[in-house]
Structure 1
Amino acid sequence: MASLQDQLLKAGLGDEKKAKKIRKEKNKKNKAVRKNQDSADTSLQDEIKAKKDAQAQLDAERNKAIQDKIELKSEHGKVKQMIQQLHITDFGGELSFNYVLDKKVKTLSVDQPSYNALTKGQIGLCVLEGKSYVMPSIAIDKIRAVDEAYVLVLNENTATEVEDDDPYADFQIPDDLMW
Structure 2
Amino acid sequence: MASLQDQLLKAGLTTKQKARQANSDKRKKNKQKRSGAQVEASMQEKVKQDIAKQKEQKLAKDAALNAEKQEQLAAKELHQRILQILAHHQVKDIDGEVEYNYTFGTKVKKLLVNELTQKALVNGRLSICGLDDVTYVVTKETADKLATLDETVVLLSNDKVEESVDEDDPYAAYQIPDDLMW
Same fold (TM over 0.5): yes
For 1:157 and 1:49, the matched residues in 2 are separated by: 64
1:48 to 45, 48, 51: 51
Question: Which residue is 2:21 aligned to?
Answer: none
Question: Which residue is 1:72 aligned to?
Answer: 75
| Mapped pair 1:119 → 2:122 | yes
Measure how far apart 1:57 and its partner are.
1.1
Measure how far apart 1:109 and its partner are.
1.9
1:106 to 110, 124, 131: 110
1:37 to 40, 61, 66: 40
| Mapped pair 1:85 → 2:63 | no
Q: For 2:178, what is the secondary structure of its paired residue?
A: coil
Instruction: State the Cα RMSD in Å.
Output: 3.5
Amino acid at match of 1:74: E
Question: Which residue is 2:62 aligned to?
Answer: 59
Question: Which residue is 1:152 aligned to?
Answer: 155
Amino acid at match of 2:114: V
Amino acid at match of 1:46: Q
Measure how far apart 1:79 and its partner are.
0.8
| Residues 125 and 139 in structure 2, CA contact (< 8 A), matched pair in contact too | yes
| Identical aligned residues as a percent | 30
| Residues 76 and 146 in structure 1, CA contact (< 8 A), matched pair in contact too | no
Amino acid at match of 2:59: A
TM-score calculated relative to the size of structure 1: 0.65
Query: Please, which runs of 5 or more residues in structure 2 have no aligned partner?
Result: 4-29
Judged with a 3 Å threshold, the aligned counterparts in structure 2 of structure 1 residues 58 and 125 are, in CA distance, closer, same or farther, namely same
| Residues 96 and 112 in structure 2, CA contact (< 8 A), matched pair in contact too | no
Question: Which residue is 2:14 aligned to?
Answer: none
Question: Which residue is 1:21 aligned to?
Answer: none
For 2:49 and 2:181, the matched residues in 1 are separated by: 78
TM-score calculated relative to the size of structure 2: 0.64
Number of residues paired by the alignment? 155
Amino acid at match of 1:38: A
Range with bigger deviation, 40-49 or 122-131: 122-131
Query: Please, which runs of 5 or more residues in structure 1 have no aligned partner?
Result: 1-11, 15-26
Amino acid at match of 1:66: K
